[in-house]
Structure 1
Amino acid sequence: MIQPIRIAEKLSAFSDHWNPRVIAELNGQHVKLAKFQGEFVWHDHANEDELFLVLKGRFRMEFRDGAVEVGEGEMIVVPRGVEHRPVAEQEVHVMLFEPASTRHTGDAVDDRTVTEYEWI
């Protein structure tokens, strides 16, 4: 039976940063929850767009030619091929929509790169 997904409950299930969890899949897209704090790695996704919806807090999406502040209740779409880096001064809770094939940090690799997403 189809049940609602309790987002607050899912967010309370983890506390680490930069490690998205999958909560749903539809039409080849993953819906993920993540917590950000600090600076992430510069990266791009050659073939996928990404949507970031801020549920709580705010963060700055940095691009090589500038930056955009994204606050609670706002979202930003990063087009495929655009290099970006999310930065959060305080913890922020984000919902992401992206194709299931999206690699966490594109071709960039660092110690926070996730190769297999956990479902919660």
Structure 2
Amino acid sequence: MDFNAINLKEKYTKFTEHWSPRVIAEMNDYQFKLVKVEGDFVWHNHPDTDEVFIVIEGSLLIEFRDGKVEINSGEMFVIPKGVEHKPSARDECQIMLVEPKGVVNTGGTENRLTAKNDVWI
């Protein structure tokens, strides 16, 4: 067992890419992933799992086909499985995702923003 706390600020200094999740911990079959985001992501969904967005720093907008939600530093939002959504951030935003191991960031839509999975920092 490792008795060192995970420092989120320090972990965010280890990468610069946007929309490319980095795993920092696992609990059971779930991964905790840090992501830097800026600009628009793609419309996508995750048919088999809910997805939680926790904003560490900045502001994240998530659009849905029938509405939108803004999530600010210190806030979180859970998207139910199968719900199509499109995240975006006007300025760089640091978020944490909590999702089952193996979830692809673009759901079933592969494109230029599809990130390599299971990248640890």
TM-score scaled by length of structure 2: 0.96
Counterpart position of 1:21: 22
Deviations 1:61-93 (A, max 9, x none): 100111101001000001100000101000000
Aligned mates of 2:102, 2:14 — CA distance in 1: 24
Distance in 2 separating the partners of 1:86 and 1:117: 21
Q: Which structure 1 segments of 5+ residues have no match?
A: none
Residue type at the aligned position of 2:12? L
Match in the other structure for 1:6:
7
Rounded Cα–Cα distance in structure 2 between residues aligned with 1:76 and 1:116: 22
CA contact (8 A) 2:102 2:117 kept: no
Asked if 1:48 corresponds to 2:49, the answer is yes
- Give yes or no for the alignment of 1:102 onto 2:103: yes
Percent identity of equivalent pairs: 46
Shift of 1:104: 1.6
Cα distance in structure 1, aligned partners of 2:115 and 2:12:
18
Q: Letter of the 1:54 partner, please give it.
A: V
- Matched length: 120
Alignment of 1:29-44 (within 5 A): 29-44=30-45
Q: Distance in 1 between matches of 2:118 and 2:111?
A: 16
Cα separation, 2, equivalents of 1:101 and 1:27 = 13
| Alignment RMSD | 0.9
**Which amino acid in 1 is paired with 2:106?**
T
**Structure 2 unaligned regions, length at least 5:** none
Three-state SS of the structure 2 residue aligned to 1:10 is helix
